[in-house]
Chains A and B, each alone.
Chain A
């Protein structure tokens, strides 16, 4: 049995949560305390068992007026997969023009998440 401290990020209250965990074959949340609402409990569970994140990065653009197009994960991905996703992002190239919202990489790193463009990059004339 161990205790983990987290600061909830769902709202500005920033409750300091204390989570009792039993670590075995699976992680079992025994208790969550310090929260002012129920959302915090659910967030804490997710955060301990399988923390999810969105990440932003850049992808190389060919023949664009900017060298890089800023991109992000369309939906959250597991924290543990971030570097797998980064590996694909770093290797990828896209041709200009790129439009905001375009799907650049589908189902990145085998996850059910797309990498989408977050800005327009016009083709150089």
Chain B
């Protein structure tokens, strides 16, 4: 078997991998190889034909493919080497990768690795959805692939479970394509997607959104004929007497994204259960030296602009690591989520430089503050009008505020 050597291998040619590879090269790492399993670069952006990408970064509302093209052009201009249609089968010890493609099997020995594998969608099986298993049950992303990339319509009368952005985007897409979207059902008492999407994907088209409601049965032996929905009580069980039948031929699931960390786990890299992504420090380095993580595989993002920013930081850090410029910090500060906070990232910092703290609240709040503190001492406070689990919050934390700290807690007050 052929063994190749590269200084840096970036796994994933979506927004995270693209930005990371470019930043690493620009920071002086010449030997970069980007590996992508699809036959073209762009990752999930290729099928996200709706706009809203790049508002922060470019000041324009671009579509997914347009946003991706910016980075693909730069990748080409920098002549960064890439392998398309190639899958990383395993990552041993974090530095030996086994890859497979039409041109065969190969082993790559890497000086450093950046993980940019993105996410997969949560499935009907994973949420233990009851009922039959006919044709016509799709995750929203798979339906998006079929419609946008393969010119295939997956149904005529649609019920959507889950009010995440992917489901909302598909509600609009399917309506514009002539399908009837009956309703969106959301198990939580609040919508998981952005308000802009509730307005422009549901309200614009008169598609009702039912909160605290879920699908409790699927009907149809060969093809979906309908679903039974019911209100879900605070005990997360259906409220008796609220069941009703909704006729449809398609059930679309938009019930969450799961970072694809199979490779990461296989390399015995520590994963945090809150994010389902790797534990990282403020350099975004994982528990294995020389292996970095960014983008959706690290934690699920809602704005691709922040994915690019995060990935660029990782690219620069990795270049520094390869040059030997990255000293491991002498001690570290653990950061934990407190009241009202679902997760924080990074989960530990060296305390030697400024860093950007990313976090999500665990439920919606209005007119509160996010507080970073060490014991009782306030480190940073951010007042916000609207705090929502669907919108990642980012805070700049200055090093002079955290020196000598042992641990930090982030909470909503």
- Name A's B-contacting residues (CB within 8 A): 6-7, 9, 12-15, 36, 51, 53-58, 60, 66-68, 70-72, 79, 82-83, 86, 100, 118-120
| Range, interface on chain B | 20 to 34
In the complex, B151 has a CB within 8 A of chain A: yes
> What are 14 contact pairs spanning A and B, CB under 8 A?
A9-B196, A13-B384, A14-B385, A15-B385, A36-B385, A51-B204, A54-B51, A55-B176, A67-B150, A68-B151, A100-B66, A118-B49, A118-B65, A118-B66
**Judging by beta carbons under 8 Å apart, are B391 and A53 in contact?**
no
Residue among A51, A56, A83 making CB contact with B50, cutoff 8 Å: A56
Q: Which residues of A contact B391 (CB under 8 A)?
A: 12
With a cutoff of 8 Å between Cβ atoms, the chain A residues found around residue B69 in the complex are: 100, 119-120
Determine if A118 and B149 form an interchain contact, defined as CB atoms under 8 angstroms apart. Answer: no
Q: Is the CB of A100 within 8 A of B61?
A: no
Closest 10 CB pairs of A and B: A70-B49, A119-B65, A9-B196, A67-B151, A118-B63, A13-B385, A7-B195, A14-B386, A56-B50, A56-B49
- Are A60 and B151 in touch, CB under 8 angstroms? yes
Q: A14 CA to B61 CA in the complex, in Å?
A: 18
The answer to whether A9 touches B195, judged by C-beta atoms less than 8 angstroms apart, is yes
Query: Are B49 and A58 closer than 8 Å at their CB atoms?
Result: yes
Q: What are the interface flags for B41-56 relative to A under an 8 Å C-beta threshold, 1 for contact and 0 otherwise? A: 0000010011100000
Question: Which residue of chain A has its CB nearest to the CB of B46?
Answer: A119
Contacts of A56 in B (CB 8 A): 49-51, 63
* Cβ-defined contact, B61 with A54, below 8 A: yes
Contact pick for A7, options B46, B149, B151, B198, CB 8 Å: B198
Cβ–Cβ contact B385 & A7, under 8 A: no
B212 at the interface (CB under 8 A from A): no
Complex CA–CA separation, A116 to B176 (angstroms): 17
B window 175-203: CB within 8 A of A = 176, 194-196, 198-200
Residues of A within 8 A of B385 (CB): 13-15, 36
Residues 388-410 (chain B) with a chain A CB within 8 angstroms = 388, 391
Q: What chain A residues lie within 8 Å of B199 (beta carbons)?
A: 6-7, 9
Closest CB of chain B to A111's CB: distance in Å?
16
Give the Cβ gap from A32 to chain B, nearest Cβ, in Å.
16
Complex CA–CA separation, A12 to B61 (angstroms)? 15
Task: Determine whether the beta carbon of A57 is less than 8 Å from that of B63.
Answer: no
- Tell me if B148 is interfacial: C-beta within 8 Å of chain A: yes
With A9-B199, A100-B66, A118-B63 known as contacts, the answer to whether A86 contacts B151 (CB < 8 A) is no
Find chain B residues with CB under 8 A from A83 CB: 176
How far is B205's CA from A86's CA once the two chains are assembled, in angstroms? 14
1/0 contact string of B193-224 vs chain A (CB within 8 Å) = 01110111000100000000000000000000
A29 to chain B, nearest CB (A): 18
A71 to B176 Cα, complex, angstroms: 13
Q: How far apart are the CA atoms of A122 and B199 in the complex, in Å? A: 36
Please give, as numbers and ranges, the residues of chain B lying within 8 Å of A9 by CB-CB distance: 194-196, 199-200
Complex formed: what's the CA distance from A86 to B149 in Å? 18
Are the C-beta atoms of B151 and A58 separated by less than 8 Å? yes
Whole-angstrom CA separation of A2 from B263 in the bound complex: 57
Cα-based distance from A100 to B67 in the complex (angstroms): 11
Q: What is the bound-complex CA distance between A6 and B195, given in angstroms?
A: 10
